[in-house]
Every structure is written in C-alpha cells, then in structure tokens.
C-alpha cells in the first residue's frame, strides 16, 4: 500500500513529532509514504474566501505532483485535507474552471488531471487498511487509559465535501483509539472547534485561548490525555497550557503516537519526549 505523503506546512515547521510518529507507525503497518518532492502550501482554508482561483491553483499544483507519482494522497492536517479534497472534487466536476486553473498551472509546467483521491490518514486507516489489520499489530494493550478524542472541524465538515463519517455523531477516531485498548470517553463539547482560526484575526488570541482552556477544563474531568489528528488543533490545546497560562497537565498526543505505543514502538522513537506537556502517564498503562 503506497501513498503520496502530503505533510503540510505546520507539521514540517513546528511539529516534527507528528511526522516522525506517523512514519514509524505506517512503516510497521506495511504502508509506504512517498515524499511529494516540490509540494508546497495546500492553499490554506481561508484563501478561497479571498481569492478562490488562486486557492484552487495552489491545491491543484500539489495534486498534480501526486498524479505524476501515480498515487493517492494521504494527509496529516485536517485543513490540508479539506482544501485538497475540495479542490480535487471541484476541478473534477467543473471543466471550465479546470481549464482556467490549468492555464495558471501551465506557467509552471503542471496540469491537474483529476486521477487521484485525497484522504486523511484516519480515513485511509479505516477504509484502506481496516480495523482487523491494525488490531493484528497491537501488542501493548493500553487498557485503563482514558482518552478524550478531538476530531477537529475539517476532518468531517463540510459533509458535502468530506463525505466521511457523521459530523454530528462521529465514531471513526473513537474506533481507532479503542483498537489500542484505551477507552475513548464521551465528554461535553467533544465536537467543539479548537478555536485556532481565531488566531488569524487581530486581537483575538486571548479569546481563542480562553475557549480552548474551557474545553481542556472539561477534558480534565473525564480523561487522562487528549488525542488530536491535526497539527493546528494539537498546538492550540498544548500551547493553551504553557506559560503564562496555567497548565491542566493534560498531555496532548498525536494519534500516531498512541497507536505506536500500542504497537510496541519505543516511547522516544515516537518522539513523545518532544511533546511539551509531560506524556509519561501513558507508560503507566503499558502492559
């Protein structure tokens, strides 16, 4: 099983632990992640509201690289997933717009053809690999560990674009957590936004942190750790616990790190030592 690996800007620049852990896990699962040489920004979620055609061209350029590789795209970031999926679907369906975008891409000797799919690794794990195969690789049951999953908005919404899981009552990430032997717990505000988009607005940082911390205070009552599958969501909940803010001591953990531990991969090999909220509590649940 092979994918064109779209890492995304934020993971590359700020969260090497996410990339390290997903590479370790996919290698152990027999999945090959092929680097997309020359790829750039996905086109970012808010650009299409400012300049739709430019956003589509940026996304289409990346997709065309995967098309040349002959592989579907696997992503790590919810925002990248939504942007690339939206562009992929739109340009496949709208021939006139596709021609306009390809006219732009011709200036850099690229062309969007519409021959590949885009999937977040959560979706790829469930649809392409399957629960049973993942379970076969779990050797270190994390029984007793209570996990609060955070889906993030763009993994599921808009439903018309993403067409994955039920955005009002999702189960995909919960299912992937439960595979590890840990328990995904329900909690109030589970589907709330991480509020990272507010950081793009001037003088809204304090409000963003306040809302994020409100969710963290709820998670503290129900779970031992929080799991994310998006770099922006991860950073929002981790940084909202760092000075000058008071810490809730809730480790924010990439799902790939959790699964890796359940698969018997070493703690440091998953870069868990790089998470800024101490994650050693997870070791207490290793069998």
Domain residue ranges of the chain, discontinuous segments joined by +: 2-121, 140-285
Neighbours of 143 (CB within 10 A): 11
**Residue 57 to residue 63: CA distance in whole angstroms:** 10
Provide the pLDDT for residue 186.
97
Beta bridge mates, 148:
226
Distance of CA 67 to the CA centre of its chain: 22
Provide the pLDDT for residue 127.
97
Provide the pLDDT for residue 188.
97
Provide the pLDDT for residue 263.
97
- Do 2-121 and 140-285 have matching folds? no
Provide the pLDDT for residue 49.
77
Half-sphere exposure of 216 (CA within 13 A, CB side): 28
Q: Which parts of the chain sit beneath pLDDT 70? A: 199-204, 287
Provide the pLDDT for residue 239.
93
Provide the pLDDT for residue 51.
86
Provide the pLDDT for residue 178.
98
* Residue 187: exposure state from Cβ atoms within 10 A (0-12, 13-18, ≥19): middle
The dotted CATH code for 2-121 is 1.20.1050.140
Q: What is the pTM of this model?
A: 0.95
Provide the pLDDT for residue 202.
56
Sign for the CA dihedral angle at 136, 141, 143, 146 comes to: negative
- State which CATH number among 3.90.1170.50, 3.40.250.10, 3.40.50.2020, 3.40.50.11810 fits the domain covering 140-285: 3.40.50.11810
Name residues whose C-beta falls within 8 Å of residue 239's C-beta, 6 or more positions apart in sequence: 209
Neighbours of 235 (CB within 10 A): 19
Query: Which strand (E) or helix (H) includes residue 181?
Result: none
Beta bridge mates, 147:
184, 225
């Amino acid at each position: 099983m092979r994918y064109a690996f779209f890492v995304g800007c934020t993971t590359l620049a700020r969260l090497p632990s996410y990339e390290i852990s997903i590479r370790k896990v996919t290698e152990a699962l027999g999945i090959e992640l092929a680097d997309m040489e020359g790829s750039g920004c996905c086109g970012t979620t808010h650009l299409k509201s400012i300049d739709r055609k430019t956003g589509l061209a940026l996304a289409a350029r990346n997709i065309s690289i995967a098309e040349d590789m002959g592989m579907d795209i696997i992503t790590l970031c919810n925002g990248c997933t939504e942007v690339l999926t939206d562009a992929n679907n739109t340009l496949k369906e709208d021939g006139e717009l596709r021609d306009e975008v390809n006219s732009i891409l011709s200036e850099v000797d690229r062309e969007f053809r519409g021959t590949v799919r885009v999937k977040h690794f959560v979706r790829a794990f469930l649809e392409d690999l399957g629960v049973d195969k993942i379970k076969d690789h779990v050797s270190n049951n994390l029984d007793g560990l209570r996990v609060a999953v955070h889906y993030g908005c763009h993994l599921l919404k808009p439903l018309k674009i993403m067409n994955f899981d039920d955005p009002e009552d999702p189960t995909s990430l919960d299912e992937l957590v439960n595979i590890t032997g840990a328990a995904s717990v329900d909690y109030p505000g589970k589907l709330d936004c991480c509020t990272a988009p507010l950081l793009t607005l001037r003088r809204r940082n304090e409000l963003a942190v306040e809302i994020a911390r409100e969710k963290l205070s709820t998670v503290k009552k129900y779970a031992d750790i929080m799991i994310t599958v998006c770099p922006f969501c991860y950073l929002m909940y981790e940084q909202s616990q760092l000075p000058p803010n008071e810490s809730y001591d809730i480790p924010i953990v990439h799902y790939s790190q959790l699964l890796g531990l359940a698969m018997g991969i070493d703690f440091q090999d998953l870069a868990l030592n790089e998470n800024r909220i101490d994650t050693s509590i997870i070791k207490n649940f290793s069998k």
